[in-house]
């Protein structure tokens, strides 16, 4: 019998997905047919402490509890009921980073996020050792950098995990990680769907002279694929999530995942020869491969889908933060003039007007580097947002905004050009999601020009990663036929919907290429600006 949302909630058959993004924690409650029925959110910001980007444990738990409280309020206002029991729960978060705990479960050093780029020496040495690209932000890079730096806490590590893995551990008592998030800690062997054993052995031999009391395999989370039981909500976990005491324990949890994996689920881009682009505070593209690349590339990370397929990931630390800052300047102008401000209208007007600009932005160039950007060779912890023009450029509002839109996906283009031009990777569909695509058709058209490929956007893409991890959690309890994740998403969630597609025009592609020529030529200016401390 089909239940309405209130009946679903009261019967304990709703599924909860919670994702910790860079600026927002979001919760989505879905029914048995994977439709969102309630949501909650909490805004937060990372802090630069002692030169490293971090979030405090207090901020993590306050954010989680406030997000869930907002979800409860939404349920109460819509359905005049409360959440007592959940069928399943999924936790996801920003991938990578470094959370190290001792035997008592105490955090040894403040959480180091993906945004930190202080791990250059470690990443370079490990990449050479493993013959595999090891990015700066991966957990193994952070661990080895701590070893190189002689950090005292390393010898006391008992457990190393990601933010999603940490939250999941505290809710269930299980030290596990979804294969997608785990692939951002240490490379995953697609044949075994576990960490590469030869890399584990090489690392242990590398650090053996330090005589730590642990082996790498002992401190890493157990790897699980989508659909595997990752534990149940404990009484302590229920209280940690809902301090009001209304939520009962017992819900099953799916493997905790990273935001890349949930983005794949939310855009039906888990199948081989599909891909997605997430464009928000940071951005990344994910192309699900049919086979391994011909060789390692420093700008391409090899990660996994939630069910274990190999993925080529191009990750950029920066995307819309600088773009948003420029839009806020126009908000301030409107307020100064005493004009009412509707932010959706303001974004829509500025974005759509950008399409009236020159295809190459009239020579204008923007660098959106709030933090370092390794693909561009800017490996400093700090970035330096910068706008560059010469006296002969066409400086007008349309070109100004178009330059900022181009900048938001410029680094993505550098990485994807390798996949499509050098490796000749074939894709059947690329789907965009995230804040850049909120204004219909604009970010989609800009991205299509950047990577010279059709881009689709689904109506559901706005639900984001919280919905994606809710789908993975729903897969645990709403799959009586035992479908594979690919088939479950295709048949039970999206039912053939591929979204609205925009194809690149020759003029836009050529213009973006001219923009990139200017962008690359001026990179030394950006690097010099970062080096000049103010």
Task: Give per-residue burial for 480-497: e unless 16+ CB within 10 Å, then b.
Answer: eeeeebbebbbebbbeee
Work out the burial of residue 41: count CB atoms within 10 Å of its CB; fewer than 13 is exposed, 13-18 middle, 19 or more buried.
middle
Work out the burial of residue 291: count CB atoms within 10 Å of its CB; fewer than 13 is exposed, 13-18 middle, 19 or more buried.
exposed
pLDDT tens, position by position, 489-522? 999 999 877 789 999 999 999 999 999 999 999 9
Residue 272 lies in a domain: no
Three-class secondary structure of residue 99 per DSSP: strand
Q: How far is CA 521 from the centre of its chain?
A: 29
**Which residues neighbour 283 within 8 Å (Cβ) at sequence distance 6 or greater?**
277, 315, 316, 318, 319, 320, 408, 409, 411, 412, 434, 436
Residue 422 lies in a domain: no
Strand residue runs (E) in 407-490? 429-433, 455-457
**Do 116 and 201 have their domain in common?**
yes
Task: Give per-residue burial for 398-416: e unless 16+ CB within 10 Å, then b.
Answer: bbbbbbbbbbbbbbbbbbb
Residue 477 sits in which domain range? 1-93+225-255+464-497
Residue 394 lies in a domain: yes
**Do 112 and 212 have their domain in common?**
yes
Q: What is the pTM of this model?
A: 0.85
Distance CA 343, CA 329 (A): 12
Q: What Rg value do the Cα atoms of the chain yield, rounded?
A: 23
**Do 68 and 203 have their domain in common?**
no
pLDDT tens, position by position, 346-395? 999 999 999 999 999 999 999 999 988 888 888 776 789 999 999 999 99
Query: Do the Cβ atoms of 286 and 306 come closer than 8 Å?
Result: no
**Do 57 and 121 have their domain in common?**
no
Q: How far is CA 77 from the centre of its chain?
A: 31
Residue 107 lies in a domain: yes
**Do 43 and 118 have their domain in common?**
no
Count the domains in the chain: 3
**Do 68 and 104 have their domain in common?**
no
What pLDDT does residue 383 have? Answer: 84
**Do 108 and 205 have their domain in common?**
yes
**Do 215 and 244 have their domain in common?**
no
**Do 100 and 244 have their domain in common?**
no
What pLDDT does residue 281 have? Answer: 83
**Do 81 and 145 have their domain in common?**
no
Residue 206 lies in a domain: yes
What is the rounded average pLDDT of the residues 137-151? 97
**Do 233 and 347 have their domain in common?**
no
**Do 39 and 127 have their domain in common?**
no
CATH number of the CATH domain containing 51: 3.30.420.40
pLDDT tens, position by position, 74-132? 999 999 999 999 999 999 999 899 999 999 999 999 999 988 889 999 999 999 999 99
Residue 459 lies in a domain: no
Residue 145 lies in a domain: yes
Last residue of a domain, one of 174, 201, 219: 219
Residue 156 lies in a domain: yes
């Amino acid at each position: 019998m089909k239940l309405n949302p209130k009946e679903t909630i009261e019967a304990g058959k709703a599924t909860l997905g919670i994702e910790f993004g860079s600026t927002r924690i979001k919760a989505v409650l879905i029914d048995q047919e994977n439709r969102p029925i309630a949501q909650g959110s909490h805004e937060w910001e990372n802090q630069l402490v002692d030169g490293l980007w971090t979030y405090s444990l207090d901020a993590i738990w306050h954010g989680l509890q406030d997000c869930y409280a907002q979800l409860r309020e939404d349920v109460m206002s819509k359905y005049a009921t409360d959440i007592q029991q959940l069928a399943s729960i999924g936790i996801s978060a920003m991938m990578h980073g470094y959370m190290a705990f001792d035997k008592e479960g105490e955090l040894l050093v403040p959480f180091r996020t993906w945004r930190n780029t202080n791990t250059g020496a470690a990443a370079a040495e490990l990449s050479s050792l493993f013959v595999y690209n090891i990015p700066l932000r991966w957990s193994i890079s952070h661990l080895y950098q701590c070893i190189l730096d002689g950090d005292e806490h390393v010898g006391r590590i008992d457990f190393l995990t990601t933010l999603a893995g940490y939250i999941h551990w505290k809710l269930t008592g299980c030290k596990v990680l979804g294969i997608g998030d785990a692939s951002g800690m240490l490379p995953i062997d697609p044949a075994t769907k576990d960490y590469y054993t030869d890399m584990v052995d090489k690392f242990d031999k590398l650090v053996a002279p330090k005589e730590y009391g642990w082996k790498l395999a002992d401190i890493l989370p157990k790897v699980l694929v989508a659909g595997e039981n990752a534990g149940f909500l404990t009484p302590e976990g229920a209280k940690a999530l809902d301090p009001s005491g209304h939520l009962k324990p017992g819900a099953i949890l799916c493997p905790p995942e990273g935001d890349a994996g949930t983005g794949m689920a939310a855009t039906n881009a888990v199948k081989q020869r599909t891909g997605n682009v997430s464009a928000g505070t940071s951005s990344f593209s994910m192309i699900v491969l049919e086979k391994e690349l011909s060789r390692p590339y420093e700008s391409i990370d090899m990660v996994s889908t939630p069910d274990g397929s190999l993925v080529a990931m191009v990750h950029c630390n920066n995307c819309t933060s600088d773009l948003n800052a420029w839009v806020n300047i126009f908000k301030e102008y409107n307020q100064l003039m005493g004009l009412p401000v509707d932010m959706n209208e303001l974004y829509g007007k500025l974005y759509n007007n950008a399409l009236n600009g020159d295809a190459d932005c009239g020579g204008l160039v923007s660098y959106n580097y709030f933090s370092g950007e390794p693909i561009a060779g800017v490996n400093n912890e700090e970035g330096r947002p910068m706008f560059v023009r010469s006296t002969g450029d066409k400086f007008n509002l349309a070109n100004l905004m178009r330059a900022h839109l181009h900048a938001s996906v410029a680094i993505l283009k550098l990485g994807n050009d390798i996949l499509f031009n050098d490796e000749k990777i074939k894709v059947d569909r690329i789907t965009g999601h995230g804040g850049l695509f909120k204004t219909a058709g604009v970010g989609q058209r800009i991205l299509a020009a950047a990577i010279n490929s059709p881009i689709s956007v689904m109506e559901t893409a706005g639900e984001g990663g919280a919905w994606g991890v809710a789908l993975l959690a729903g897969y645990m309890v709403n799959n009586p036929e035992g479908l594979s994740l690919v088939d479950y998403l295709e048949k039970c969630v999206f039912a053939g919907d591929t979204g609205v597609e925009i194809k690149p025009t020759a003029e836009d592609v050529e213009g973006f290429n001219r923009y990139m020529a200017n962008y690359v030529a001026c990179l030394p200016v950006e690097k010099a600006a970062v080096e000049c401390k103010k």
